[in-house]
Structure 1
Amino acid sequence: MSGMPLFLWGVYPYLVLTVFVIVLIVRMRNDPFGWTSKSSEFLEKRWLRWGSLLFHWGILFVVAGHVAGLLIPIQWHRGMGISDEIYHAIAVWAGSLAGLAAGVGALILLFRRLLDRRIRVTSTPGDLLSIVMITLVIMTGMTATLFNGLDHSGFDYRETISPWLRGVLLLQPDPSLMETVPITFKIHIVLAFALFALWPFTRLVHAFSFPLWYLRRSYVVYRRRGHRPSSQSMEKSVTH
């Protein structure tokens, strides 16, 4: 294998991962106050409520499905008693529902950013590019999944894409595994890596800033103005 295929499946992933990791670290160290989702909820709530809800819940299940299908070897599935027929049925139907929810949510967020004047004028090029890329990745992924579900040629991404991706992560890539992969999957993968390259430059970095410390934070004590707390309440607030 040589030329463009070798670059796409043997070099391109490492260029993306290098940019992803280095820029994330640099931005975390040098731009801590810019590490935010820059919420526009105060400008428009109705479309944001539905778009954000559908997108975030849908993408959680999409990511879970990708982990199960790409990072877990096919032998493990069969060892757990999951037949290929059952796996593909779950992947097509559950994956399609999750992808549909995420896709509809992404489209709502995209149209909201384009059609609402206040949102549009406060959006940066990175905001627009990131939501467009997310939408394209979701749509191409759904297209690949649906076409593969309707196609009975016997292609199984767990025997091609999955070992290729695991090889990339283990620094042992085998680009030849991607030779027989349908073009719909190849487009989806190239766009997905492009999204990862864009990720650290945009507001998407907030995905790594989930405030887990909220789960163990101390209680906040509220008192009426002018109210003099008793010694018992002061002791209670100190313990928190």
Structure 2
Amino acid sequence: MAEQFWWVIYPYLALAIMILGLLYRYSYAQIGWGAPSTEILEKKYLRIGSLMFHWGIIFAFFGHVMGILIPKWLYEQLGVKDELYHFNAIVFGGIVGLVTWLGLIVLIVRKAANKRLQRKAKASDFVTLFSLFIIVTLGTSMTTLYNLFVHPYEYRDTIGPWFRGILTFHPDAALMAGVPLLFKIHVVFSFALFAIIPFTKLVHFWTLPLRYPARSPMQYRSRVNDKIKRP
């Protein structure tokens, strides 16, 4: 029953909360959909931490697509050997994970040490940062420490098919039975993060600036030039 709950019921429960929460927030609380910038309160460390985190998480997303959504047999058809795949996953995945992790450290310290940011911050902001920190720490540890010092775990035979089964509504809990505990915790926390997205600033993750290239340009005028032109 525990296996069925964690690997069949729990993922759909988390995704259902996310979808329903997004629909509700978009319908009744759209004014707070975005992530308000705190640049006016502190700029230096925001620029460093935000750039590192966002670029890191983008590359991490594509890394998960390559490792989880693309079946192992496709790599075999393309002639990519397991050794080459795991070497690239450890090297590039480790670099991406470390960059993302360091970016989160900067953002957490920035939020915790700046009193002006503390007064503006909500409890959900700290929950978001620490949830991301746990997930990224586990993911980076799996990619580097576990694969280097324990053994390269072939998640494409277990977690990959299981996750694709979630998307096709045919999840097989048996695939997760032999998965190392570290990987299981990472998966559980990741789905928990999906569930809290509608209630945090992470909601802006689902906003794509599709209309941005076609919008009208904004006109700015220097105050100095404006004073000179006045009679």
Instruction: Flag whether TM exceeds 0.5 (same fold).
Output: yes
Unpaired segments of 5 or more residues in structure 2?
none
Structure 2 distance, partners of 1:184, 1:101, is 21
Structure 1 distance, partners of 2:61, 2:189, is 16
Q: Which amino acid is 2:184 matched to?
A: K
Structure 1 distance, partners of 2:132, 2:220, is 42
Structure 1 distance, partners of 2:145, 2:200, is 32
Structure with max Cα Rg: 1
Matches within 5 A, 1:107-118: 107-118=105-116
Structure 1 distance, partners of 2:207, 2:178, is 38
TM-score normalised over the length of structure 2: 0.92
Number of equivalences: 225
Offset of 1:147 from its aligned partner? 3.6
What SS is found at the alignment partner of 1:212?
A: coil
Q: 1:120 aligns with which of 118, 121, 130?
A: 118
Q: 1:10 aligns with which of 4, 8, 11?
A: 8
Aligned 8 A contact 2:86 2:152 in 1: no
1:150-193, Cα deviation, whole Å (9 max, x unpaired): 25656300000000000011100100000111111011111111
Q: 2:94 aligns with which of 87, 93, 96?
A: 96
Q: Which amino acid is 1:142 matched to?
A: T
Offset of 1:215 from its aligned partner? 1.4
What SS is found at the alignment partner of 1:44?
A: coil
Q: 1:175 aligns with which of 162, 166, 173?
A: 173
What SS is found at the alignment partner of 2:76?
A: helix
RMSD: 1.8
Structure 1 distance, partners of 2:114, 2:88, is 38
Q: 2:137 aligns with which of 136, 139, 156?
A: 139
Unpaired segments of 5 or more residues in structure 1?
228-240
Aligned 8 A contact 2:147 2:153 in 1: no
Aligned to 1:203: 201
1:114-135, Cα deviation, whole Å (9 max, x unpaired): 1110101110010110011001
Structure 2 distance, partners of 1:222, 1:123, is 31
Structure 1 distance, partners of 2:150, 2:127, is 36
Structure 1 distance, partners of 2:217, 2:36, is 27
Offset of 1:36 from its aligned partner? 1.3
Residue identity over aligned pairs, in percent, reads: 40
Matches within 5 A, 1:9-88: 9-88=7-86
Q: Which amino acid is 1:66 matched to?
A: H
Offset of 1:218 from its aligned partner? 3.4
Moved more, 140-149 or 107-116: 140-149
Structure 2 distance, partners of 1:161, 1:222, is 52
